[in-house]
Amino acid sequence: MIKTSLLEKQKFYNKNKKILSEVLQQKIDKAFDIDYTYNSTTIEGNTLTLIETKTVLEDRIAIGGKKLREIYEVINHSKAFSYIKECIEKKEELDENKIKDIHQILTENIIQGGIYRNTDVIITGASHTPPTPNEMYNQLRFFYEDLKEKTEKMDAIELAVWTHAEFVKIHPFLDGNGRASRLIMNYQLMNNDFLPISINEKDRLKYYNTLDEYATKGDILPFKKLVEDLEEKRLDEINKIIEQQMNAK
């Protein structure tokens, strides 16, 4: 169950968000896009700084001394997030084809995306070992079946965190599972009228630990709390701007 304070803040945001001008909304969205792309790629080892990420996305300028792969990771992540927003605008539910599309966009010019792995993988530093390819396909089948059922049974936050935690536990792609999982989590949040969140790279250890709790013990609550706290913080930030706009009128 989602805590009452969070639901109240969500209700206030959705009721009053239209007070934000188009220009201001675009500014908020652009700032989040850069921050989200920076954090999500940095968590996976990308070395571009926040300023360099901003330069690549806004000015379309390559950064000297950086690997071409890192440049593409940043550009592709922003494109994948834009794709998600387009899907949600059309009121389309998350499904297997969309997840494959997201991964394909994420890995464009890096590897062939949207294709499930046929080899074993190991997650460095994790207690959990992803399933072998044969077992992976079984788990994916159950994942997509559960995705439909849990959409009707879980609250919006729990659905989002389960989608992320279960998908990254299966680890169906050779690369890009973390970025894809964070994107599909935000897909679920946004599709249920919540704001997308960004997990700060400084919190990666806490983030990884909560995912490990789910992968090894099936305990989703630590990860859910982390996401709820981030969602509430994000709503507080945007609602404060909305209130300022209200008071200025």
Active site residue ranges: 171
Residue 185 to residue 197: CA distance in whole angstroms: 9
Residue 30 to residue 35: CA distance in whole angstroms: 9
Q: CA dihedral in degrees (92, 211, 168, 170; nearest 10)? A: -120
221 contacts: CB under 8 Å, gap ≥ 6:
none
N-term to C-term CA, the chain: 36
Contact between 46 and 72 under an 8 Å Cβ cutoff? The reply is no
